Homo-oligomer: A and B are copies of this chain.
Amino acid sequence: MPHHAPDRPRWLSAEEQSAWRAFLTFVARLDEALDRQLQRDAGMPHAYYQVLAMLSEAPGRTLRMSQLAEITTSSPSRLSHAVARLEEKGWVRRERHPTDRRGALAVLTDDGMAALVAAAPGHVAAVRENLFDRLRPEQLHQMCDLFATLNDGDDPPHEGSGRLSR
Protein backbone atom coordinates (compact mmCIF):
# COMPACT_ATOMS: atom_id res chain seq x y z
CA MET A 1 0.00 0.00 0.00
CA PRO A 2 1.51 3.30 -1.14
CA HIS A 3 2.44 5.70 1.58
CA HIS A 4 1.54 9.33 1.07
CA ALA A 5 2.34 11.72 3.88
CA PRO A 6 0.02 14.18 5.75
CA ASP A 7 -2.78 14.30 3.18
CA ARG A 8 -2.94 17.36 1.06
CA PRO A 9 -5.68 19.51 2.55
CA ARG A 10 -9.10 19.36 0.96
CA TRP A 11 -10.07 23.01 0.93
CA LEU A 12 -13.66 24.08 1.22
CA SER A 13 -15.74 24.38 -1.93
CA ALA A 14 -17.25 27.75 -2.72
CA GLU A 15 -20.57 26.65 -1.31
CA GLU A 16 -19.02 25.24 1.84
CA GLN A 17 -17.01 28.39 2.25
CA SER A 18 -20.07 30.58 2.07
CA ALA A 19 -22.08 28.31 4.37
CA TRP A 20 -19.24 28.31 6.86
CA ARG A 21 -18.88 32.06 6.95
CA ALA A 22 -22.59 32.62 7.22
CA PHE A 23 -22.68 30.12 10.05
CA LEU A 24 -19.83 31.79 11.93
CA THR A 25 -21.34 35.21 11.52
CA PHE A 26 -24.73 34.10 12.70
CA VAL A 27 -23.45 32.23 15.72
CA ALA A 28 -21.25 35.12 16.77
CA ARG A 29 -24.09 37.61 16.54
CA LEU A 30 -26.54 35.30 18.26
CA ASP A 31 -24.19 34.51 21.12
CA GLU A 32 -23.51 38.14 21.64
CA ALA A 33 -27.19 39.08 21.57
CA LEU A 34 -28.19 36.39 24.05
CA ASP A 35 -25.31 37.04 26.40
CA ARG A 36 -25.91 40.74 26.40
CA GLN A 37 -29.65 40.43 26.95
CA LEU A 38 -29.23 38.06 29.86
CA GLN A 39 -26.39 39.99 31.41
CA ARG A 40 -28.34 43.21 31.22
CA ASP A 41 -31.74 41.97 32.33
CA ALA A 42 -30.87 39.11 34.63
CA GLY A 43 -27.28 39.58 35.70
CA MET A 44 -26.05 36.28 34.34
CA PRO A 45 -24.32 35.03 31.22
CA HIS A 46 -26.00 32.53 28.95
CA ALA A 47 -23.87 29.65 30.23
CA TYR A 48 -25.16 30.23 33.75
CA TYR A 49 -28.73 30.40 32.55
CA GLN A 50 -28.30 26.98 31.03
CA VAL A 51 -27.06 25.59 34.31
CA LEU A 52 -30.08 26.94 36.15
CA ALA A 53 -32.45 25.74 33.42
CA MET A 54 -31.12 22.20 33.46
CA LEU A 55 -31.28 22.07 37.24
CA SER A 56 -34.85 23.32 37.22
CA GLU A 57 -35.93 20.33 35.15
CA ALA A 58 -34.11 17.73 37.20
CA PRO A 59 -35.93 15.71 39.87
CA GLY A 60 -35.55 17.51 43.17
CA ARG A 61 -33.90 20.33 41.22
CA THR A 62 -30.74 18.43 41.92
CA LEU A 63 -28.07 17.01 39.66
CA ARG A 64 -24.70 15.49 40.08
CA MET A 65 -21.87 17.72 38.91
CA SER A 66 -20.77 15.24 36.28
CA GLN A 67 -24.26 14.94 34.80
CA LEU A 68 -24.80 18.67 34.92
CA ALA A 69 -21.52 19.15 33.09
CA GLU A 70 -22.62 16.61 30.51
CA ILE A 71 -25.97 18.16 29.66
CA THR A 72 -24.67 21.72 29.67
CA THR A 73 -21.77 20.70 27.45
CA SER A 74 -19.21 22.16 29.79
CA SER A 75 -15.93 20.90 31.12
CA PRO A 76 -15.77 19.80 34.77
CA SER A 77 -13.57 22.76 35.51
CA ARG A 78 -15.85 25.26 33.89
CA LEU A 79 -18.85 23.91 35.71
CA SER A 80 -17.03 23.92 39.01
CA HIS A 81 -16.15 27.58 38.61
CA ALA A 82 -19.66 28.39 37.44
CA VAL A 83 -21.33 26.67 40.36
CA ALA A 84 -18.97 28.44 42.73
CA ARG A 85 -20.12 31.73 41.28
CA LEU A 86 -23.79 30.76 41.35
CA GLU A 87 -23.36 29.70 44.96
CA GLU A 88 -22.09 33.17 45.87
CA LYS A 89 -25.25 34.58 44.37
CA GLY A 90 -27.33 32.16 46.43
CA TRP A 91 -28.85 30.57 43.34
CA VAL A 92 -27.31 27.14 43.73
CA ARG A 93 -26.22 25.13 46.74
CA ARG A 94 -23.75 22.26 46.90
CA GLU A 95 -24.51 19.06 48.74
CA ARG A 96 -22.56 15.90 49.29
CA HIS A 97 -23.59 12.82 47.36
CA PRO A 98 -25.30 10.40 49.78
CA THR A 99 -23.53 7.21 48.68
CA ASP A 100 -20.54 8.17 46.54
CA ARG A 101 -18.41 10.34 48.75
CA ARG A 102 -16.41 11.86 45.89
CA GLY A 103 -19.56 13.06 44.25
CA ALA A 104 -21.05 16.51 44.68
CA LEU A 105 -24.62 17.56 44.00
CA ALA A 106 -25.75 20.92 42.74
CA VAL A 107 -29.16 22.02 44.00
CA LEU A 108 -31.19 24.89 42.62
CA THR A 109 -32.32 27.12 45.49
CA ASP A 110 -35.66 28.93 45.64
CA ASP A 111 -33.84 32.17 44.90
CA GLY A 112 -32.23 30.48 41.93
CA MET A 113 -35.57 29.25 40.67
CA ALA A 114 -36.98 32.75 41.06
CA ALA A 115 -34.09 34.27 39.15
CA LEU A 116 -34.60 31.74 36.38
CA VAL A 117 -38.34 32.34 36.15
CA ALA A 118 -37.72 36.06 36.04
CA ALA A 119 -35.10 35.68 33.31
CA ALA A 120 -36.93 33.18 31.13
CA PRO A 121 -39.42 35.37 29.26
CA GLY A 122 -36.83 37.86 28.10
CA HIS A 123 -34.47 35.11 27.11
CA VAL A 124 -37.06 33.18 25.12
CA ALA A 125 -38.08 36.39 23.42
CA ALA A 126 -34.47 36.98 22.39
CA VAL A 127 -34.18 33.44 21.04
CA ARG A 128 -37.36 33.94 19.03
CA GLU A 129 -36.36 37.30 17.72
CA ASN A 130 -32.91 36.19 16.62
CA LEU A 131 -33.77 32.75 15.39
CA PHE A 132 -37.18 31.16 15.16
CA ASP A 133 -39.20 34.17 14.13
CA ARG A 134 -36.92 34.57 11.12
CA LEU A 135 -37.45 31.05 9.84
CA ARG A 136 -39.93 29.88 7.29
CA PRO A 137 -41.88 26.87 8.59
CA GLU A 138 -40.08 24.26 6.53
CA GLN A 139 -36.73 25.67 7.56
CA LEU A 140 -37.48 24.67 11.12
CA HIS A 141 -37.77 21.06 10.02
CA GLN A 142 -34.55 21.33 8.07
CA MET A 143 -32.85 22.81 11.08
CA CYS A 144 -33.99 19.94 13.28
CA ASP A 145 -32.80 17.44 10.75
CA LEU A 146 -29.51 19.24 10.25
CA PHE A 147 -28.42 19.39 13.86
CA ALA A 148 -29.78 15.97 14.66
CA THR A 149 -27.51 14.66 11.93
CA LEU A 150 -24.58 16.68 13.17
CA ASN A 151 -24.96 15.55 16.75
CA ASP A 152 -25.31 11.95 15.68
CA GLY A 153 -22.65 9.74 17.12
CA ASP A 154 -22.08 11.97 20.11
CA ASP A 155 -24.09 10.97 23.13
CA PRO A 156 -27.69 12.18 23.22
CA PRO A 157 -28.06 15.52 25.01
CA HIS A 158 -31.00 14.88 27.38
CA GLU A 159 -34.71 14.82 26.48
CA GLY A 160 -36.05 17.69 28.56
CA SER A 161 -39.67 18.52 29.23
CA GLY A 162 -39.20 22.06 30.50
CA ARG A 163 -40.16 25.21 28.70
CA LEU A 164 -37.39 27.47 29.87
CA SER A 165 -35.49 26.95 26.66
CA ARG A 166 -31.93 27.24 28.00
A positions within 8 Å CB-CB of B: 6, 9-12, 15-29, 32, 50, 73-74, 120-121, 124-125, 127-128, 131-132, 134-136, 139-152, 154, 157-158, 160, 163, 165-166
Contact = CB atoms under 8 A, between A and B. Distances in A.
Contact of A148 (B9, B22, B121): B22
B17 A144 contact: no
A25 B151 contact: yes
Contacts of A125: 9-10
Given A9-B124, A163-B11, A23 B139 contact: no
A76 to B, nearest CB: 13
B15 A73 contact: no
Given A12-B127, A157-B25, A134 B149 contact: yes
Main secondary structure of the interface of A (DSSP, over half): helix
A165 B9 CA distance: 12
A124 B125 CA distance: 35
Contact of A163 (B12, B24, B50, B134): B12
A165 to B, nearest CB: 5
A6 B157 CA distance: 33
A149 B23 CA distance: 11
